[in-house]
Every structure is written in C-alpha cells, then in structure tokens.
C-alpha cells in the first residue's frame, strides 16, 4: 500500500508539490491562528464540537474498512498502482498534498509558538491552540478520506467483478 501511495505522488511534478503544500501550510496556519487569536472561541467548546464529526468519521471508517476486508481482503503493502483504482488516484494525490501541507502548517505553528514563548508568553497559548486545531483537522481529514478510499476500493472491486473474500 505504501508503494502505491509513493507511486501515485511521483506522478505529480515536484514544483507542484512544493507550491501546493506550501500554500496549504501557510493558509491553514493563518486560518488556525485567526480562529485562535482573533475569534478566541472557547477551546473546550471547539474541541467538543469537533469531537462529534471526528467520532462519526472514525465510525464510518471502521465500518467501511470491515466491509472492504470482507469484500476485497487486505491490500498488499508491496503493491503498486494496480491495486488502487485509476479513478481514486487523483484524489489520493490531493489528499497527500493537503496532508503534507498540514504537516508543514504544524511545523510553522510549532516554530511560531517557540518564538512567541521567547518573545511574549501570552501569545504561546494562541499558537498552541492553533496547532491543536490543525492536528484535529488532519485527523478528521484522514478518517474521512480513509472511509472514502475504502468505499472506492469496494466500488472498484464490484465493477471489476472481484469475488468476495470469505
């Protein structure tokens, strides 16, 4: 599976990866800082409201993953692009680019938090809150995409006529 993901992202030019990932990193860090710094919502309320979509996406992911295991079985870790349906490959590329950008956003927020802690302690909490927002969003993104990916694999196996694994 990892080889398939690596092969899928290799189809994207390196310059595009840098531009998109940097754009996602800066934009998501700015949005998270805006939420944490200017809007100043209750941290507990934000995490509480985010908990329901995250738990629902985990439940959907688990349900579709179990169905995929029964229908298709395990996806081999050493497989290439032939395992992933062609229709899903562009979505996987976008997911990987956004995921990489969110990783960059987290690094920016950690670096900014360290600078804020050195300069003025009151700003550190804002950066910490923004970092948590980015991490929560990445978890939600991964769970939703994982559920959609498994559903796509099930759909593609039905289209090709792969018999269910028992």
Over the stretch 80-136, which tens digit does the pLDDT of each residue have?
555 677 777 888 888 889 999 999 999 999 999 999 999 888 889 999 999 999 999
| pLDDT top residue among 152 and 3 | 152
| pLDDT top residue among 141 and 156 | 141
Query: For the ranges 13-17, 31-35, 52-56, which has the lowest average pLDDT?
Result: 13-17
pLDDT (average), residues 21-50: 90
Question: How many C-beta atoms surround the C-beta of residue 55 within 10 A?
Answer: 11
Kindly indicate the confidence band of residue 29, based on its pLDDT and cuts at 50, 70 and 90: very high
Region class of 32: left (phi > 0), else alpha (psi between -120 and 50), else beta: alpha
Q: Report which listed range, 14-18, 23-27, 33-37, is most confident.
A: 23-27
pLDDT of residue 165 exceeding 80, the answer is: no
Residue 127 has what pLDDT?
94
What are the respective helix, strand and coil percentages of the chain, to the nearest 5?
Answer: 80, 0, 20
| pLDDT top residue among 157 and 141 | 141
CA distance 32 to 109: 9
């Amino acid at each position: 599976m990892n080889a398939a993901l690596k092969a899928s992202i290799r189809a994207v030019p390196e310059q595009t990866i840098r531009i998109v990932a940097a754009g996602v990193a800066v934009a998501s860090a700015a949005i998270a800082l805006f939420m944490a710094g200017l809007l100043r919502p209750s941290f507990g309320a934000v995490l509480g409201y985010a908990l329901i979509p995250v738990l629902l996406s985990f439940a959907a992911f688990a349900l579709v993953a179990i169905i995929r295991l029964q229908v298709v079985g395990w996806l081999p870790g050493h497989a290439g692009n032939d395992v992933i349906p062609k229709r899903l490959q562009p979505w996987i590329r976008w997911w990987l680019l956004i995921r990489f950008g969110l990783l960059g956003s987290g690094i920016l927020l950690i670096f900014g938090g360290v600078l804020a802690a050195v300069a003025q302690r009151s700003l550190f909490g804002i950066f910490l809150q923004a970092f948590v927002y980015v991490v929560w969003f990445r978890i939600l993104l991964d769970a939703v995409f994982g559920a959609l990916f498994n559903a796509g694999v099930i759909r593609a196996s039905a289209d090709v006529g792969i018999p269910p694994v028992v």
